[in-house]
Amino acid sequence: MIDVCMILEGTYPYVAGGVSTWVHQLISSMKDLKFGIVYIAPNSDPTRTMKYELPHQVLFMKEIYLHDYDLDLHRLRKGGKKDYALLKNYYQKVLSGKADEFESFLQLFQGDQRCFDLKTLFSSHEAWEILTHFYKAFGDGVSFLDFFWTWRGTHLPIFQILQTELPRAKIYHAISTGYAGLVATMGKILHQGLFFLTEHGIYTHERLLEISQADWIYEQEKKHFRAERDLSFFKKWWIGMFQAMSRLAYQYSDKIVTLYEGNRLRQALEGAPLNKISIIPNGINPKEYQSIQREKKLIPQIGLVGRVVGIKDIRTFVQAAKRVINTGKEASFYIIGPTDEEEDYFEECQTMVEELKLEEFITFTGRVDVKDYYKFLDLVVLTSLSEAQPYVILEANCVGIPVVASDVGACREMLEGTEMADKRLGASGLVTEVSNPESTAQAILKLLNDPSLYQSMSEAGKERVVRYYNQDDLLGRYLNLYEQNL
């Protein structure tokens, strides 16, 4: 039996990024523990390549594909009236915001009592009766055809997971709620393991942002990108499903770790018991960045470090750059990160650069070693719509580069401090309004035009990272957490 089974949705080891970097650091630092990985992806992809070399202590890796369905009929006991009644009753509880009786529900898909598979649930008369019952009760006048396909689209991935065989482990460590949290809950119930949950960002909040903008979910009225109350029936359905999975994970988890106080409070509001939650921030190895030799350019060099995707709100950075240039300030701007994840969004950003006539001022670097840019950048900017605790702030501050960041996630805490001793170090950057190019531009200009402020923020950042965000200290807290429970 392995010690820790890491459960990851769409991140390590196939996708580079902050969460994946953290997972790799965590596993690599614990050489005496035996790890396994369950990786959750939408579909199998033979062209997918690992972005990280798995440490030797990873003994196996299992992949779950949410949309690669096996609809062949398996040898199952025939579901009776009690089984379908349990299925219907569990739905009633989920719709009322409860997660009771999940153990009994799970037995319908696992072990000797298993009586449901994908084909049974999507072709039996009894399942159809349950579907039509809930349409009459909750359909709210929408088309039954749309109701059916949304039910199918939301439930197929869940049923795919419920019938998956999981490896035995002492600890199931999910790095989000959602599908990963569902898998960890199953591991706890089926194999009597412990369930640890780490949330970098709040899963339901991130899904809300995605679903608000999604054009693949049918809706009868005009699309919005506003508050949840403005979402269409089917978008609310998707959000409700993810919220239900989060409640389940919070209920069954033994330990919950988050990155900062704001996340802790939001988790509590969404149903996580406060006595389960502890805070362990991300960290970096200061020596790795302190060794970077700085180079001074003739004009200010400003970089956004991040993937070119919608949630990073690259368009706000481009518009802020235009405002800075319009003041007569000479500067070069860089968008430093991969451009192949959301190609349509990348094209939109390129078009905006051209329309604003910024081609000679803004460079898309693509995937590069960001340390080469930390050598000469004067400012690092983040304009994200959502963040947890971005490594970029730690890296830039450690080098001595002040950061301008939107007021999301832990950005304010990281730049202004948390406890009093931390706050006394002074700010190491400026916090701006979300999706506000003018606020971002003014913060950039303030730092470029005030050498004394710039220098004080540069020194504060270097000291803060060493004192409060040392990777070895923070990973040691996870090692203690594991060892106390193994």
Express each pLDDT in 63-109 by its tens digit.
Answer: 999 998 766 655 556 667 777 888 888 777 776 666 667 888 888 78
What pLDDT digit, counting tens, does each position of 281-296 carry?
Answer: 999 999 999 999 999 9
pLDDT of residue 123: 78
The strands making up 194-199's β-sheet, listed across from edge to edge, are 58-65, 35-41, 2-9, 169-174, 194-199, 255-258, 277-279
Can the peptide bond before residue 157 be classed as cis, meaning omega within 30 degrees of 0?
no
What pLDDT sits at residue 32? 95
Count, residues in the chain: 486
The candidate with the shortest Cα–Cα distance to 180, out of 249, 130, 117, is: 249
Q: What is the pTM for the complete model shown?
A: 0.83
Rounded Cα distance, 178 and 19, in Å: 15
CA distance 90 to 347: 45
- The arithmetic mean of pLDDT across residues 319-327, rounded, is 98
What φ, ψ does residue 399 adopt, rounded to 5°? -75, -20
pLDDT digits 0-9 by tens, 208-260 = 878 877 665 655 544 443 444 456 888 888 888 899 999 999 999 999 999 99
What b-and-e string marks burial along 76-95, b requiring 16 or more CB atoms within 10 Å of the CB? eeebeeebbebbeebbeebe
Of 145-154, 267-276, 337-346, 460-469, minimum mean pLDDT range: 145-154
Query: Distance between CA 271 and CA 395 in Å, rounded?
Result: 33
- pLDDT score of 208: 84
How many other CB atoms are found less than 10 A from the CB of residue 373? 18
Nearest to 175 by CA among 259, 116, 98, 247: 259
Which helix (H) or strand (E) segment holds residue 304: the answer is strand 301-305
Chain centre to alpha carbon of residue 199:
8
Q: Is the pLDDT of residue 36 over 90?
A: yes
